[in-house]
Every structure is written in C-alpha cells, then in structure tokens.
Amino acid sequence: MSVFVLRRLLTLLATLVGASLIIFLVLDALPGNAAQMLMGADASADAVRALTVKLGLDQPLAVRYLQWIKGLLVGDLGNSYVYGTPVASLIAERLVLTIPLAIMAMTITVTLALSAGIYTAANHNKLGDVGVMSLTQVGIALPNFWFAILLVLLFAVRLQWLSAGGFSGWEDGIWLGVKSLLLPAISLAVVQAAILARVTRSAVLEVLREDFVRTARAKGLGKREVLWSHVLRNAMIPVMTVMGLQFANLLAGTIVIENVFYLPGLGRLIFQSIANRDLIVVRNCVMLLATMVVIVNFVVDVLYAFIDPRIKVHDL
C-alpha cells in the first residue's frame, strides 16, 4: 500500500514539473510584450526597455523559469503586472468563490449521475431507461453557457427566485453565497452529469453480467440487494476514473461560466489576465489549475486501492 502511494506521489511530482515547463514555455512563446502592453502603444522605446528590465523580462529563459519555480516553492508568486499587487493574494481572493463553486458543481454532478446511472441500469431497456438516457443525450449536446442563459431566463428573469449574476460573498451568511452560486453550479454540472450517468449505467450493466452476480442471486439475494451489495462497488472504478477527468473539465468550464454570471472567481481572473497580457497571473493560475487536477487524480488513484482489494497486490 505505501509503495503504491509512494509511486503515485512520484508520478504526481513528475507530472507537475512537466506541466510547469509546458506552461512556462507556451506563455513565453506568446507574441506581445507585457511591458509594451502596460505602457501603451505610444510609449518610448527607452521607457519600455526600462520596464522590461524592472520586470526581469530581460533575463534568459532558464533563469526566469528557475526564479518562478523557486518562488512557487516558497509561496512568492510575484506581483501582477497590471494591478501591482501580489499574485498570491489575487488568487486567494478568487478561490473563495471558485472552490465552493467547483465543489457544488461536482456534488450536483455526482448525485445526478449516480442516481440516473443506477436507475437506468436497474431498469435496463425499460421505458425509464430509454427516457433518462434520451435526456442525457440532450444534456451532452448542450453548450453549458447557453444552458446557463436559459437558467437565468427561467429562474432569475421569470421566476425571480435567484439573481442573474454576481456574488454576494460569504459575509452575509452561507446561504446567500450558496444561492448566488447555485445556477452557475447547475450549468457546470449538467453536461458532466449527463456524461457520468452514461458511464455509470454502462459500468453497472457490465458488472450485472458477471458470474458472481449470478452466484449472489443463487444464494438467495434479491435483485436490489445484489445491486447494492455486489454490483456497485465493482462498478465504481470506471466511474471514479471519469469523475477525476471531469473535475478538470469542470475547472475549465468555470472560465466561461464565471463570465456568464459575472462571478469574480479564478476563471474570470484568468480570462481578464489573458486579455491584459498579465502573463505572470495567467501562468500561476494555470499552474494552480494543473496542480488541482493532478491532485484530484492522485486521490482517485489512492481510492482505487481502498475500493478494490486486488490493486494493493498488483499495483497500478
């Protein structure tokens, strides 16, 4: 078990190093000089050069990369080119919104997907199965921003239950915060839930065909008991794998959804920083997203071993 975790941890570190290299090189290769951008098109060449030196952009590539990594390790992410404030505090402010949003969206995704997936598998080829599966087909085809606008039209404009956008913060009570994140979380979750429901359904159906299900029935267990006590745990491995991957999709989705709902979250920060060529913010935000995705997948891998006793022996 510990060998397994150790090996996974080493993979995780290697992935992060790789990700940091790619992020750094890609952003560096982008056209457009941050100093020029900041000073405006008609700034003098001397002034631009001076700012370039001040920002450290004249240093060689390797030096700048190592400086960035060193900063990451001690938690000093540098200052935003645009705002002049520390990037770390900029990100921290935004995470207060984006992390709860991601958790809410993931919770909705998992709840919807598991109920729909298990229900349809248990009623294979019956009317309920066909109906729910057609709905998931629609769900997969929906662009999330368009669905978000539909939700706003219904719940904010017509019914006036929820606000159309903006975030009230957590100071006025948790419920108000949750309320302002509800529509964005649902918009993010619907597509993911539709995909995950289909994965769950096929995973459960596959396990239902296994011999040990017949053995369990031969012992006198009813269909429902077999489903809960024998089938689900076996079906969870593919479902969790997809869940891990979906977490990445979900984070990427926040960039669009936070813009639709005017939410001051990480996604919006990334979007604005790209527009402003505030590359130091972009670089650190993207690195943070990559880290979150890698860590979630690491957790999924470790959970495999808890679910499936065979993995402890064979390793992955």
Partner 1 sequence: MGEQRVMPLIEVENLGVRLNTSRGPAQAVRGVSFALKRGETLGLVGESGCGKSVTAMSLMGLLPDSAVVSGSIKLDGNELARLPDADYCRLRGNRISMIFQEPMTALNPMHTIGHQVAEPLRRHKKHSAAQARKEAIALLDRVGLPDPARRVDAYPHQFSGGQRQRITIAMALACEPDLLIADEPTTALDVTIQGQILDLIADLVEERGMSMILISHDLGVIAENVQRMMVMYGGTVVESGPTDEVFRRMGHPYTQGLFRARPKLGARKGTRLKTISGTVPELADLAAGCTFSDRCPLVIDQCRAALPPMVDVGPGHVVRCIRTDVSMAENVGALSA
Please report whether residue 45 would count as binding partner 1 according to CB under 8 A. no
Q: What is the 3-state secondary structure (H, E, C) of 182-195?
A: HHHHHHHHHHHHHH
Identity of the residue, 151 or 232, whose beta carbon is nearer to partner 1 in the bound complex: 232
Least spacing, CB of residue 214 vs partner 1, in Å: 7
What's the min distance (Å) between Cβ of 6 and partner 1? 23
Compare residues 216 and 266 and give the one whose CB is closer to partner 1.
216
7 binds partner 1 (CB under 8 A): no
Helices and strands in the chain, H and E counts: 14, 0
Give the CA-trace dihedral at 245, 7, 207, 223, to 10 degrees: -100
Report, in Å, the least distance between residue 25 CB and partner 1: 44
Min CB(232)–partner 1 separation in Å: 10
- State yes or no: residue 228 binds partner 1 (CB under 8 A): no
Residue closer to partner 1 by CB (options 125, 160) is 125
Binders of partner 1 among residues 185 to 224 (CB under 8 A) are 210-212, 214-223
Q: Which residues contact 18 (CB under 8 A, 6 or more apart)?
A: none
Is position 109 an interface residue for partner 1 (rule: CB under 8 A)? no
Query: Nearest 5°: CA angle at 92, between 88 and 97?
Result: 155
| Residues in CB range of 304: below 8 A, 6 or more apart | 237, 240, 311, 316
Closest approach of partner 1 to the CB of residue 290, in Å: 33
Q: How far is CA 51 from CA 21, 36, 42, 237, in A?
A: 25, 9, 14, 53
Diameter of the chain by CA atoms?
Answer: 85
Within residues 254-273, the interface with partner 1 by CB under 8 A covers none
| Number of neighbouring beta carbons within 10 Å of residue 249 | 15
To partner 1, the closest distance from the beta carbon of 213 in angstroms equals 8
28 vs 210 by CB, closer to partner 1 = 210
What does residue 145 show for φ and ψ, rounded to 5 degrees? -70, -35
According to the binding rule CB under 8 A, does residue 31 interact with partner 1?
A: no
**Residue 309 sits in the site that holds partner 1 (CB under 8 A):** yes
Q: Which residues lie near partner 1 (CB under 8 A)?
A: 210-212, 214-223, 230, 233-234, 307-310, 313
